[in-house]
Amino acid sequence: MNKDVDLLVVGSGAAGMCAAIVAKLSGLNVLLIEKTSKIGGTTALSGGGTWIPLNHQGIALGVQDTLEQAELYLDTVIGMDAPKALRSNFLKFGPEMLKFMEQHTEVKFSGRKYSPDYLPEKCGAGTGGRALDPLEFDGRLLGQNFENLKSPLPEFLVFDGMMVNKMDIDLLLRAKTSADGFFHAAKMVTRFALDRLRGYSRGTRLVLGNALAGRLYKSMLDLNIEILTDTAIQSLEKNADGRVDAAYCQQQGKALSITAKKGIVLATGGFPNNIEMRQKYLPAPTGLWSAGNPHNTGDGINAGLGIGAKMGSNVNNGFYSPISQRKRKDGTTANFPHLMLDRYKPGIIMLNAEGKRFVNEANSYHECGAAQYQSNANPGWIMCDATAMKKYGLGLVRPNPSDTELKGFMQENYLICANNIVELAQQIQVNATVLEKTIHNYNQDAVAGADREFGKGSNIYNTYLGDPTHAGNPCLAPVDQAPYYAIQIFPGDIGTSAGLVTDEFARVLDENQQIITGLYAAGNDMNSIMGGHYPGPGITLGPGLTFGYIAAKHAAGKL
């Protein structure tokens, strides 16, 4: 079977769908192929945060920011670890992309007036306006196609199908103590119950990355962009002039040849679940410790490498996060990323294999995950006492768990519980004397309100995700109330940063740094413009959308 189009887009995450939409609106005949039966990629599983400095939403909120400040911040953080031309085009076209998408599609965001960058001590760091969140989306607008949208990770759903964001969680925790919490909970649960009664497989109120994926998918459908699911790329082909103009694919076991006159955009999400590529490009030892889409196995990258594209390498080749693992009832493994719900909070610390703290637990997930590799914490542990467990939960254990819930997690060997520190040390196989000293020193600092060893709670990013109701340092409290709990954590990731080397227009380069005409990469198939650093919330989605936009505009001759 053969197909002829202007532009072929491979992958249905944010970068791929953005490229397809922009290309269609630029007058091209577009085909998007997706390896699985569901649309959305890792975007649909993500938190949806999108980092685009100088966006119009931030300006409307009155946030004071300048191009010079944004450039200074990225230059300070990244330095020579990635080409400046790429981040310059990101800063130039990111705001343009966002305005274009909001004006012409269903994609809509809200700005965060206060949301500190992840490295607030660096010159040029911002306190707000740079990060955005996708607006809540009504999945019913997709009609029968709602079931084709990839569902979030089960671990992020309530009542086996209801999505919640940070605001929802805060209100739900107050459902028994405040009127606003009660009415918000009642409204959400009623909507969810009606969805299930109407035959939906899950709740249709979409938030976070699923809302972004849903909005992009709705925009694709509105534009009648052709989508082929269950279609995986196998290889690429150059014509006699050296231009990439064809892709060979497999669609449900059948060969499919696609000719693309204007180009091919690779956006298959990197290689987070290809163990051979992880072993080649990530620090050793590694495992399948990723919260990314399980089907992202480097297909786009390998297709590019097959025709001589250059593979990039960064300071960190993953976007790291501590990951805990739990077996699901269906036998699959849940890779839970410890992003924002536990590490930052008072009375929660991380330990290496020696029973010592090794990092400021309230730093970004990327910093904490990278520190595991550097500090004999592969695997390591995250631990707390009874007070913290009740108030904040730990990993997949939600706040104020019942005895039955705790017992279930312990029986599955996900959660360790002990009556004292010595017993906990024995269970997690660390030296008891070392662990007791670690806890003693931390508790002294917690009482004083200043973490002398690692500075937990010492900057505005730390405190932003701490507990604002906690007296004193919002990230520190003693670990001194039995029982004590621990969960094993691995240095995993939410995606990979190493990808195909491109120029500032998303054109893939070969080993000689020459442009491979007709071939583009975006999202995590593109070597990260951040060079393995993680400056702020949404530095995968922001550049992914932006370079999807750039690739489409360039292929259409609009740049």
Residues in Cβ contact with 250 at an 8 Å cutoff, skipping those fewer than 6 apart = 231, 232, 234, 256
State the Rg of the chain over Cα.
23
Q: What is the DSSP letter of 280?
A: H
Roughly what angle, to the nearest 10 degrees, separates helices 84-104 and 541-555? 80
pLDDT at 183 (0 to 100):
84
Q: Tokens 């970004």 belong to which residue?
A: 364
Pairing of strands 131-134, 137-138: unpaired
| Beta strands per DSSP E along 171-253 | 205-206, 226-228, 231-238, 244-251
User: Would you state the structure tokens that stand for residue 534, as one six-digit string?
Assistant: 């993680």
As a whole number of angstroms, the distance between CA 368 and CA 343 comes to 9
Cβ density class 76-105: b for 16+ within 10 Å, e for less = ebbeeebbeebbbbbbebbbbbbebbbeeb
User: Is the CB of residue 41 less than 8 Å from the CB of residue 548?
Assistant: no
Q: Would you call the peptide bond into 379 cis, given omega within 30 degrees of 0 as the criterion?
A: yes
Q: CA quadruple 400, 49, 152, 291: dihedral positive or negative? A: negative
∠ Cα 432 437 441 (to 5°): 150
- For the whole model, what pTM was predicted? 0.96
Q: What single-letter amino acid sits at 349? A: I
As a whole number of angstroms, the distance between CA 242 and CA 384 comes to 59
Every domain of the chain and the residues it spans: 142-207, 319-493
Three-state SS for 409-425 is HHHCCCCEEECCHHHHH
pLDDT at 165 (0 to 100):
87
User: In a structure prediction context, what are the per-residue pLDDT tens digits for the chain, which is 559 residues long?
Assistant: 899 999 999 999 999 999 999 999 999 999 999 999 999 999 999 999 999 999 999 999 999 999 999 999 999 999 999 999 999 999 999 999 999 999 999 999 999 999 999 999 999 999 999 999 999 999 999 999 999 999 998 988 988 899 988 888 778 778 778 888 888 888 988 998 998 999 999 999 999 999 999 999 999 999 999 999 999 999 999 999 999 999 999 999 899 999 999 999 999 999 999 999 999 999 999 999 999 999 999 999 999 999 999 999 999 999 999 999 999 988 899 999 999 989 999 999 999 999 999 999 999 999 999 999 999 999 999 999 999 999 999 999 999 999 999 999 999 999 999 999 999 999 999 999 999 999 999 999 999 999 999 999 999 999 999 999 999 999 999 999 999 999 999 999 999 999 999 999 999 999 999 999 999 999 999 999 999 999 999 999 999 999 999 999 999 999 9
pLDDT at 186 (0 to 100):
85
As a whole number of angstroms, the distance between CA 445 and CA 538 comes to 32
pLDDT at 185 (0 to 100):
83
Q: 3-state DSSP helix/strand/coil percent for the chain, to nearest 5? A: 35, 20, 40
pLDDT at 168 (0 to 100):
83
Pairing of strands 507-509, 515-521: antiparallel
As a whole number of angstroms, the distance between CA 215 and CA 229 comes to 18
Q: Tokens 């940070």 belong to which residue?
A: 166
Architecture of the domain whose range is 319-493: Alpha-Beta Complex (3.90)
pLDDT at 177 (0 to 100):
84
pLDDT at 485 (0 to 100):
99
Task: Give the count of beta carbons closer than 10 Å to the beta carbon of residue 377.
Answer: 25
pLDDT at 257 (0 to 100):
98
| Beta strands per DSSP E along 107-168 | 109-111, 131-134, 137-138, 157-158, 162-163
User: Would you state the structure tokens that stand for residue 169, as one six-digit string?
Assistant: 């969680």
